[in-house]
Structure formats: structure tokens, C-alpha cells
Chains A and B, each alone.
Chain A
Amino acid sequence: MSASDEIWILGIRMTKFGKHPDLDTVDLAAEAATGALSDAGLTMSDIGALAAGNLMAANAGIGQQLQKQIGQTGIPVYNVANACATGATALRTAIMAVKAGEVDYAMAVGVEKLSGAGLLGAGGRKRAEADVWAPAGRYGAVAPIDGRIGTEAMPGVFAQIGTEYGHKYGGTSFELFAKISEKNHAHSTLNPLAAYQKRFTLEQIMTDVMIAYPNTRAMCSANCDGAAAAVVCNGETLKSLSLEQRRRAVKVSASVLTTDPYEPGCQVLPNVNTLTRNAAATAYEQAGVGPSDLDLVELHDCFATAELVHYDNLMLCEEGGAADFFNSGATWRDGSTPVNVSGGLQSKGHPIAATGIANIWEICHHLRGEAGDRQIQNAKLGLAHVIGLGSACGVHILEKSAA
């Protein structure tokens, strides 16, 4: 592989996740974007393409709004939306622009304002109670079906995904899922950018408000505000830059986006497993590494029940062995495969479109040796994973610079 085929993250930044009542999406996106540019040692005049995502206002053109806030240079904007994989999709888009050889530098931005958003995915279509029953929609339904024919709300969907894993392989329990959440909340205490930095006891987690068994409130991702941005270039461009820029650059050894292939039942309950496994297999092959080479992993723990299945899907453990793998302590920050040392979506927070880039920021932070109190010592290789229900999966493998 020649230097022009290699992709590098030159600059990356995430905002503090949490409540930002005085900042709108454009303010947050601008903070992340200007931060990433500054980190890269570039300005908007260097950027050849911009990929941007803001899922909750996907028709508003966040990319152009951002340009008006920090610099209008006439470059192409790709506004992307791909559920919770929106940020990873923006990054993937920026990477493809560089890989195509059309631009030297491309930037990806993801931003969301989600504080107080409540339950996502629930309710389906809103309909007034009809005077006379009138079938409507694809199922000829006479009344809303969410809650009458299963659940469309995220906590319940992912609860079923976790309990299904337990049914298939055994070893899971309410307590086991709660322990995963205990780990992530403990990790978050070392992350000053996390929305919540509060350690919870197992009992506090298990006795918190039940949302969808076995997920209590503490086991659900935290709705919050935040943004993240990254600037990428290829290896040939990197060669022309300063030693400091080359030293801090992080190599993107694999960048993969997948959707869910057809399997029986996948349109009844989303199958988040196969597309993750496919993305991981392709990513490991692209990077020429295996799961045991990873120093840390940030995976999509939108619910405690989801984190468990992704240990298996990312092949961090043997097939069917996720419960034993967790119980061994492997995924705590002092374990063999630290997972979600940022605190994960459950405590760092999940501003949807920002998440897919913020996970990569976390990995880069460790690979650069800049993670402070929560630094994973000698981290050289990391993996970032996101899932957007519907579904889309992004997997990126990142490697420390040898410079």
C-alpha cells in the first residue's frame, strides 16, 4: 500500500457532552470543527470537502449552516443521516473524498441537541383517535401499533436483543447486564468531557427506574448535547507536514460501513449482530490485525444489553462467550480488552450524530498519549464501533503513528 492509499486523522475534537442550554447545534458544531482544524494545524481554506450530520434536523443542512458560522469557501457539503451511525457515516464520507483523490483534506462533523429528549423511537405515527375505525398505512392498522404489537422504543428493542443472546447462549441475568453498566459509570469518573461522571453501585443501578426489563434508567444511553469533528488526509499529504503533525496524526487502518443483510426475522426484530460481525471481519482484514491486538475498544453501548452482544459481534470473545468474557473482568479499564473507558454512551452520553466521531476521538486521545488520568498505557491500536438502528454499522480501526 502506498502512502496515498493511507488515511490519517490529522485533527479531531469533541465538545463537552451534557446540557448546553446556551448553545445551539451550529454553535456546538462550530466549536468541534474549529477545534479539529486547530488540532490539525489547518484553516477552512485548506478543507476540500465537508461531511456533516445532525440527525434530529436532518433536513436543515447543518453543513451549510456550519460554513456560514466558520467559513464559506464554496466546497461541496455532504449532509448525511444514518441513525446513530450518522457521525461514522460523515467520517466515512470524508475519508472516501480523500481516498478518491479529489481533495487533500476533508472534514467530518456530527452534532446533536438531545437534552431532555426522552424516549426515542416510540409512539410510531401520531394519529388522532378516529370516530370510525379506518385502516391506514402499510399494515392497514386502525390504531397505533407501537405498544400493541410489541415495542418500537429503543430500550425495549435493545432489551430483546440482549435477552435473545442470553436465551441462545446462557449466562446472562438482570444482574450481569447491570454490572456492565456499573463498569461504564465507573469509567466515566475519569472523563471530564462525559455528561455524567457519577459512579453507581450495582444496587443503585438495579433499583433505578425500570424502563424496559432488564434495562433500568442507569443502563440506558444518556440523551445530551454535543458535537465532534475530525479532519482527514492521506499519507502522501501527511509527508509534507511538520514532525509534530506527523507524530500526533492517527492512522485509520480500517474504515467500514455496513447495513443489515437479509435474514429470517430481521424485519421483525432488528438484527444488530450480523452487520456488526461483517463490519468487524472486514475491518480486521483491512487493518491486518485481530481482536487480540486491540489495546482498547469504544463500542455502541446504547443500552447495557447491547454492549454484551457486541463483545461477541466484534469477536473480542469466543462465539457465545460474552458473559464469561465480561465476568473475567476483561472489559474493565485494567482488563485485557478495555471497553468504553470513556464511560460509554450510558454515562459519557449519546448526542446521536456526534457519537460516531466522539468514539474515534476517544481512541485517538489514547493513541496520542493525551488521555490524562484515564490513559490506557502504551495504547497503539484501538477500535471504534457504532450502530444505527435500521440498520447501519460503522467500524474504524485506528493505529498510533510511528513518527
Chain B
Amino acid sequence: MAGQIPLVDYLVLDDGEPHLIAQECAGCGARFFDRRNACAGCFATDFKSVPVATEGTVRTFTIVTFAAPGIPTPFVASVVDCDGTQVRANLINVEPDPEHVRDGMKVRLATYPIGTDSAGTEAVGFGFEPAT
């Protein structure tokens, strides 16, 4: 096993439990998942990396049944409110139908393997699953 690599660099796998990190504006606390020269809200230029809460509630969702080639369907796309930080993610480990997914449901971060490359490295993605 040659180890793991996260799907995106804001998913942290090697520092305790898997979690997301955001770039937080030192001026107003706005959070971004990629680099900014200045905060879109207050134009301050200092940021620090902060962990994002791993539990949250579903703010909105859709069940995508028709997508671009190569994307497995159906899947549940959503925005999860993680203690005030809005996170775009799929809902996983849940039946992708309107009877099993609802706005406001409690969810928690979960990871899953995406595939293994020729060097044996496993890519790991994330989603949110029902927190029961």
C-alpha cells in the first residue's frame, strides 16, 4: 500500500480524523476553499487555515439523474451547513431518492476510495452521510 492522496487539497487525511480545511479571512472570518488575494467580503489580505466542522445540516440538495459522461448517476448533490461554513458536497451512504433525503437532515463527513493509480496510491474523496 503506497498510501493515500485526497481528491482535493482541502481534504486532510493525515492529521487526525479526516476533515476539511478552509482559508479564513483574518478580518471578517469569511471562509474560502481555495486561494484569494483579498477577501471577497472585506478585502483584507491575511488568511489562516482553519478546520471545518465535520458535522452539519443539509441546506439544500438535488438528485442528479442526468450528468456529463463519466459521472455515475444518480447522485445527491448538496450544500451542507457545517457550523456556519457552507460546504458543497455529495450526500453518500444514503438512498438517492426524495424519500430518504431531506433539507435540514443531520449529516457528517465521510470518505470513500475513488481509485488506485499505477503506483498503488489510493485517491480518497469525501461526502456527507446521515448522522443517525
Contacts and interface: CB of A to CB of B under 8 A. Distances in A.
Interface string A141-183: 1111111111101011001110110110000001000000000
List the 8 shortest-distance A-B pairs measured between CB atoms, nearest first: A140-B9, A265-B86, A147-B71, A159-B62, A167-B103, A123-B68, A164-B60, A151-B77
A160 B10 contact: no
Nearest to A265: B86
Interface of B: 5-10, 30-35, 40-41, 59-72, 75, 77-79, 84, 86-90, 98, 103-104, 114-115, 117-119, 121, 123, 125-126
B7 A148 contact: yes
Contacts of A123: 68-71
Given A213-B65, A264-B86, A133 B9 contact: no
Majority SS of interface residues in chain A?
loop
Interface in A112-149: 119, 122-123, 130-133, 135, 138-149
Nearest to B5: A133
Nearest to A263: B41
Interface residues of A, number: 46
A161 B98 CA distance: 16
A371 interface: no
B78 A212 contact: no
A139 B118 contact: no
11 contacts: A123-B70, A132-B117, A132-B118, A139-B34, A142-B7, A144-B70, A149-B88, A156-B77, A164-B103, A209-B66, A212-B64
Contact of B62 (A135, A144, A212): A212
A140 B6 CA distance: 9
A230 B91 CA distance: 46
Given A151-B75, A214-B98, 9 more contacts: A123-B71, A135-B5, A142-B6, A144-B70, A153-B68, A167-B59, A215-B62, A265-B59, A267-B32
A289 interface: no
A366 B12 CA distance: 58
